[in-house]
Amino acid sequence: MKEKIAKIEDLKREKGVVILAHYYCRPEVQAVADFLGDSLALSVKARDIDAKTILFAGVHFMGETAKVLSPEKRVLIPNPEATCSLAESCPAADFAKFKAEYPDALVVAYVNTTVGVKALTDICCTSSNALQVVESIPQDKQIIFAPDRNLGSYIQKVTGRQNMILWDGACHVHEKFSKEGILELKKVYPEALVVVHPECRGEVAELADYCGSTAGILSYCGANDCDTFIVVTEPGILAEMEKKYPSKKFIPAPSIEGKSCNECEYMKMITLDSIIACLENESPTIELDEETRKKASKSIEAMVKIA
Ligand code: 13P
Ligand code: SF4
């Protein structure tokens, strides 16, 4: 492992590549990242960073978003098969038909979408800013919210907004957290606070002391005096939690299948070996149709202006 990490550091220096990684990546992949973050922070970093080449250690839509915002940069992705079940649950052609049924509605789409769906979107959002994005839209305007029905329902509940039409998509990882499993853990650790990602089902989100994005969860755990947390999101985030707050205890929530934690197999497809091969070959890269990219870029820039 040490030799692989040293090799990546040499290749990065030699080729002038900056590595961005999401919190759900394997701990050893997080260790070679120049920047680690949630999907919002990484998109902004990809746009603003002074580098000719970015290697995106994350799933495909994250690399695409980086390329949409920085077309002049080369974006390397270690494994193009690392997709996202949530993005896949909303094919652009089907979404275009759905959108046509509501000609007066404004489209808000989560960044966990393909570039084709972003091109059909008015304002993107992430789990960090979905609430602010929806609240920025006049009350009487109908909204199509895609693709995550759980995040959409959560926003509807918090805002009390009735005129939101939800696309019926979900993340297979967050859908599988078990309410009963979390309640069992609460019996063992009654003092623990429950931190939940809003892609979880409503009955799970209801158990949350805090519900928010991966970056939001990290800050909440740091700012709170409590020292035990039940973590209801992909357990890759535990590496950063334990590094940042070594005196606190983080317990991964179980899945409905009885697994003690619930991993995203797509994020785990990014390995040190795939990063080495990608740096050596300087491929695969993200390539986008320019017209689609420009349309998608408007919806992401609209989000960045709001939050
Ligand atoms: P964040 O927006 O919190 O980074 O979440 C991304 C993601 O893929 C959640 O499943
Ligand atoms: Fe996609 Fe879910 Fe994996 Fe996040 S955890 S990348 S939403 S499949």
Please give the chain's pLDDT, 307 residues, in tens.
Answer: 889 999 999 999 999 999 999 999 999 999 999 999 988 788 889 889 999 999 999 999 999 999 999 999 999 999 999 999 999 999 999 999 999 999 999 999 999 999 999 999 999 999 889 999 999 999 999 999 999 999 999 999 999 998 999 999 999 999 999 999 999 999 999 999 999 999 999 999 999 999 999 999 999 999 999 999 999 999 999 999 999 999 999 999 998 988 878 899 999 999 999 999 999 999 999 999 999 999 999 999 999 888 7
Closest-approaching ligand to the CA atom of 59: 2
Look up residue 296 and give its two tokens.
Answer: 């998608």
pLDDT of residue 127: 87
In angstroms, the CA 34 to CA 19 distance is 5
| DSSP helix/strand/coil, 7 | helix
Ligand 1 centroid from CA 39, angstroms: 6
Atom of ligand 2 nearest to the CA of 24: 5
Helical (H) or strand (E) element with 166: strand 164-166
The encoded tokens of residue 180 equal 């009963």
Distance 171 CA to ligand 2 centre (A): 6
Distance from residue 126's CA to the centre of ligand 1 (Å):
7
> Counting ligands in written order, which one lies closest to the CA of residue 58?
2
pLDDT of residue 183: 96
Handedness of CA 263, 193, 42, 277 (dihedral sign): negative
DSSP H/E element including 251: strand 249-252
Burial of 127 (0-12, 13-18, 19+ CB in 10 A): buried
Domains of the chain, CATH where assigned:
2-82+267-287 (3.40.50.10800), 86-170+294-306 (3.40.50.10800), 174-252 (3.40.50.10800)
Q: Please report the pLDDT score of residue 300 as a whole number.
A: 92
What is the position in ligand 1's atom list of the atom closest to the CA of 217?
3
Q: Tell me the pLDDT tens digit for each residue of 181-228.
A: 999 999 999 999 999 999 999 999 999 999 999 999 999 999 999 999
73 and 66 Cβ atoms separated by less than 8 Å: yes
Number of the ligand 2 atom closest to the C-alpha atom of 266: 3
In tens, the pLDDT along 39-74 reads 878 888 988 999 999 999 999 999 999 999 999 999
Asked if residue 86 has its Cβ within 6 Å of ligand 2, the reply is yes
According to DSSP, the residues that pair with 20 across neighbouring strands are 35, 56
